[in-house]
A = this chain, B = another copy of it.
Amino acid sequence: MSFLEQLREWQASHAILFGADTAPYCLDQRRRYQGQTLAVARPNSTEQVQQLVRLCAEHQIAIVPQGGNTSLCGAATPLNDGQSLIISLERMNQIIQVDADNNTITVQTGVTLAQVQQAALNVKRLFPANWAAAQSCQIGGALATNAGGVNVLRYGNMRELTLGLEVVLADGEVWNGLRGLRKDNTGYDLKQLFVGSEGTLGLITQAVLRLYPLPTAHATALVAVDHPAAAVELLRGLQAEVGDRVTSFELISAPCLDLLHLHFPRLAQPFQPTPAWCVLIELSDGGDSAALTDRLAEYLFAHGCMDAYVAQNLSEAAAFWQLRESIPEAQRIDGVSIKHDISLPIGAIPDFLEMCDAEMLSAFPGAKIVAFGHLGDGNLHYNLFLADKTAGVYEQEQAVNELVYRHVASHNGSISAEHGIGQLKRETLQQVRSELELTLMRQIKRSLDPQGLFNPGKVL
């Protein structure tokens, strides 16, 4: 039986889509990558995934694993050759087990991040991963890209939140590594290979994730700072005082606030006038919010943060967060920008900004630099608006990237903090990682996926 004949036979059982029905799965959310596919298979069990992978292996058909398709780097979108099969995990959306004693949750990887958060909440636990796409992104994609978000400072990336995986390998074998253990030193830690590999080494079908005690107290503040160096100092001082209660520490520059003024005038901004920089701070803890809020306010007052606004209730806190979370949308409305998701040693951020900004404004006069991000993790979203705000600006992308990544390299940073490589940064990866590192990665790829079936054209 041919590959397509077999797919047609499985059409009902494996919920397979053909032709025009595949279109939504072939376009990435930033609308930069429009691919083509032979079909979209939507298995509802690990066994069905296994059958599909075996079929692909037999016919040497490439596989594009797909979750919520929210990648910012085109990692989940097929190439343009139309020769691959998308395997969407969207029907594998069951919470398998929540173990409050062990603080773990076991899920099929087609569940959304929001589903996992809710299931944890139902037993008074926290699943701390959180970012804008929580309602639509799936855990499989979050694992495959080692996603980050706003709580990494306190709880780590998806890698640190993962205890066990079930993975369908390139030959269709299923590796069952669904252990819910905090400590397990029995040979090589295989799950680490698959987390962050962007679907190029295997297809993650189930996962055991860590849960945490549910914080009952929150304190939120927006604080103006003169300079990013003052933000770093405030972060370290606050941590010395309250330790890991500092859950989020987000840096926001004046151009972000200006964009919000322009495109979301109804979102109230407390500052008058707009400061050069501000930070959004969130503390969380057991106990009650009033005491924690007082403590944050006292700390800010005692340390001379005069232009500081401490949320007095949940709706004020939500409003502060809405400002932060509306930045990407305000950018989108404003036009096409050239984006960078970089990380740096935290102490190097002030110097990086000073040097990179200066060269950028000199090389691209009139450029608007929209910088914001997770300062506590050393993660900056460093985005550029040039005069051309259409897709035409991408003609400048290479020159802009070369400039930014040169400063990233000289400050020992990374060109991709949390978004991954996908298609977008695949060529850049070849330039920023050493030949030895690329060789090691290729060896691992060859060892686990000798036919190169999984997600070709991504990462390597």
Contacts and interface: CB of A to CB of B under 8 A. Distances in A.
The residue in A152, A374, A378 that gathers the most chain B C-beta atoms within 10 A of its C-beta is A378
Given A185-B416, A417-B185, A443 B436 contact: no
Contacts of A448: 440, 443
Given A175-B437, A181-B345, A346-B101, A186 B432 contact: yes
A104 B437 CA distance: 23
A443 B201 CA distance: 14
A100 interface: yes
A182 B421 contact: no
A344 interface: yes
Contact of A183 (B173, B414, B438): B414
A242 B286 contact: yes
Interface in A69-90: none
A183 B433 contact: no
Contacts of A287: 241
Interface residues of A, number: 92
Chain copies in the assembly?
Answer: 2
Contact of A378 (B102, B347, B421, B438): B102
A187 interface: yes
Contact of A344 (B181, B433, B444, B459): B181
Given A124-B240, A440-B448, 7 more contacts: A99-B347, A101-B236, A160-B160, A183-B374, A183-B379, A184-B343, A241-B286
25 contacts: A99-B345, A99-B347, A101-B232, A102-B345, A102-B347, A152-B183, A153-B182, A160-B160, A175-B434, A175-B440, A181-B345, A182-B378, A183-B377, A183-B417, A183-B418, A186-B415, A187-B441, A189-B196, A190-B440, A193-B193, A212-B243, A213-B236, A213-B243, A443-B447, A444-B444
